[in-house]
Structure 1
Amino acid sequence: MPELPEVETVKRTLIELVAGKRIQSVTVRLPRIIQRPAEPEQFAAALEGRTIQTVERRGKFLRIMLDGLVLVSHLRMEGRYGMFNSDEPIALHTHVLFHFDDGTDLRYSDVRQFGTMHLFEQGKDLELPPLNKLGLEPLDNAAFTLVAFKEALAKRSTKIKPLLLNQEYIVGLGNIYVDESLFAAGIHPERAANELKPAEWKKLYEAVVATLASAVEAGGSSIKSYVNGQGEMGMFQQQLLVYGRKDEPCTSCGRPIEKFVVGGRGTHICKHCQKLPRIRVK
């Protein structure tokens, strides 16, 4: 599933591709992609004649800003957008087509068919599902501070990895960047959040910020099928230190990276660099 860096990259490329374009019509080929309004015909009719102003992001969601409306789109596992000339053949697994009046299309394809689209009046999208319960935004320098980070997580007894994956606390973090951030901070993913020391919270906060910044700069990670809106792969997978590197040597200590399950998610760590504290027996 695309995580924050990948969705941020898609956002930036879509701004270049579609900002200022006017929608002439919309074709919905797989109705269940459209979650709001209830009828795909209403969705298509509401968008006719609208101009895309820009594209924003909230967590792993794209917010396509039109005059008077906001289209909230989640790519889920393998959703992707691409620009085409309107007369080009429509590829398999293309589910929604936005036809512009300049003879081009923005086409949404999704092999797994898990993606969603919600249409709202401007301002309403942040007040209603699926965006209304999202947590802190890691790329928001003003809001995402060490203090706010600790306030959101530090008092909870939950294991730190599932907590970081919970979008109600911190948005945009998925399996890749949680594993990478925990390794960079030297923290075992099964540590309880309320047991971390102040110095560890500072390391983890700095690791999250640095990891995401580097991933955005590299255009995200193309682990499976991810490409940006221009069909280009991300390159951060070349910088991954633990994720996807089972049995390979740790870049810090040389011991093999191990993989096991934490909170139902495959998890990569170096058990030497990310030790669980010993339980003292009284």
Structure 2
Amino acid sequence: MPARTWRGACMPELPEVETTRRGIAPHVEGREIREIIVRQPRLRTPVPDDLADTLVGHRIGELGRRAKYLLMPVGAGTLLWHLGMSGSLRLARLGDLPRKHDHVDLVLEGGAILRYHDPRRFGFVDWLQGSPLDDPRLARLGPEPLSPDFDGERLYRLSRKRRVAVKPFLMDNAVVVGVGNIYASEALFLAGIDPRRAAGRISRERYERLAEAARDVLAAAITQGGTTLRDFVSGTGEPGYFAQRLNVYGRHDAPCRRCGELLRLVTLGQRASVFCPHCQR
């Protein structure tokens, strides 16, 4: 089951991680781990030395996701995966030779292999005992953008007296998780909000439109399999196709799809931001 390589230019965001979860879940849930092969333990968080001793012989439970973290219950704990900037989880079979940057294999009953690939090694796999939501990396996160806990009222309330630009405010994981650079750009375009505008100077009504736009763009991206990125492919080796519908991200100096004016590129919070100076105010 060889994985395809796909070229683009960003890191996996929430829809890509959710696409990965949905893609690999039918192939790994309920399967017993027969062997763990670690070729490169020096990831962002070092792979635990005793991972094989802890997990071999246990079955994988129902996969979950929190923000951009993939949660894999195994035995009395949880494997916590993060894809970093270039990571992917792919399905392989016994006999499929590992490629360069294939760092960790979970060999499952029936011959399937869950293979972690990460050229930059900014991702990780870690083992947590107890509830994963108590881990400091997850405990302070804001609500999921598709949950009832996220709405325009929350954005309005948390933004009062904030001078930070609205785009980095929307990308703050304490405000809401998973609205990364691509999807924040697209949501602000759909809501007609200039990404440079101070978060504290936006009305409740406009935040209601922004929250709805963020939900819509993320739901659409998940449905379509994520955004096509440089290194991202789904768990079955298929790339995402949401990039075909992007309105502003990556399109600076191109005409706005809505009004025809040239899109502009600025830097906000050390991230490139593209917007339409006519449609976004």
Normalised to the residue count of structure 1, the TM-score between the two structures is 0.91
Residue matched to 2:129: 121
CA apart distance, 1:60: 0.7
Q: Deviations over 1:212-244 (max 9, x none)?
A: 111111111013221100001111101100011
Question: Aligned partner of 2:106: which letter?
Answer: F
- Aligned-partner SS, 2:261: coil
Q: Identity of counterpart residues, as a percentage?
A: 38
CA apart distance, 1:121: 1.6
Residue matched to 1:200: 206
CA apart distance, 1:151: 3.1
Would you say how many aligned residue pairs link Structure 1 and Structure 2? 271
Q: Which moved more, 1:145-154 or 1:228-237?
A: 145-154
CA apart distance, 1:101: 2.6
1:5 to 9, 15, 18: 15
Answer whether contact 1:25 1:44 (CA < 8 A) is retained. yes
Q: How does 1:263-274 map to 2 (within 5 A)?
A: 263-274=269-280
Answer whether contact 1:54 1:66 (CA < 8 A) is retained. no
Residue matched to 1:62: 70
- Aligned-partner SS, 1:25: strand
Query: 2:244 aligned with 1:234, yes or no?
Result: no
- Aligned-partner SS, 2:240: coil
2: CA distance between counterparts of 1:269 and 1:39?
40
1:216 to 211, 222, 230: 222
Answer whether contact 2:151 2:208 (CA < 8 A) is retained. no
1:260 to 254, 266, 271: 266
Residue matched to 1:278: none
1: CA distance between counterparts of 2:158 and 2:80?
25
- Aligned-partner SS, 2:248: coil
Residue matched to 1:181: 187
CA apart distance, 1:153: 3.5
- Aligned-partner SS, 2:21: helix
Residue matched to 1:16: 26
Answer whether contact 2:152 2:209 (CA < 8 A) is retained. no
Higher relative contact order, chain-length normalized (CA < 8 Å, sep 6+): 2
Query: 2:196 aligned with 1:190, yes or no?
Result: yes
Unmatched tracts of structure 1, length 5 or more: 276-282
CA apart distance, 1:34: 7.2
Query: 2:178 aligned with 1:172, yes or no?
Result: yes
CA apart distance, 1:246: 1.4
Q: 1:165 to 1:51 in 2, by over 3 A?
A: same
CA RMSD, 1 decimal:
1.5
Residue matched to 1:105: 113
Unmatched tracts of structure 2, length 5 or more: 1-10
Question: Aligned partner of 1:30: which letter?
Answer: Q
Query: 2:95 aligned with 1:87, yes or no?
Result: yes
Residue matched to 1:135: 142
Structure 1 stretches of 4+ moved >6 Å: none
Answer whether contact 2:150 2:176 (CA < 8 A) is retained. no
2: CA distance between counterparts of 1:39 and 1:63?
16
2: CA distance between counterparts of 1:139 and 1:206?
10
Query: 2:35 aligned with 1:29, yes or no?
Result: no
1: CA distance between counterparts of 2:52 and 2:255?
52
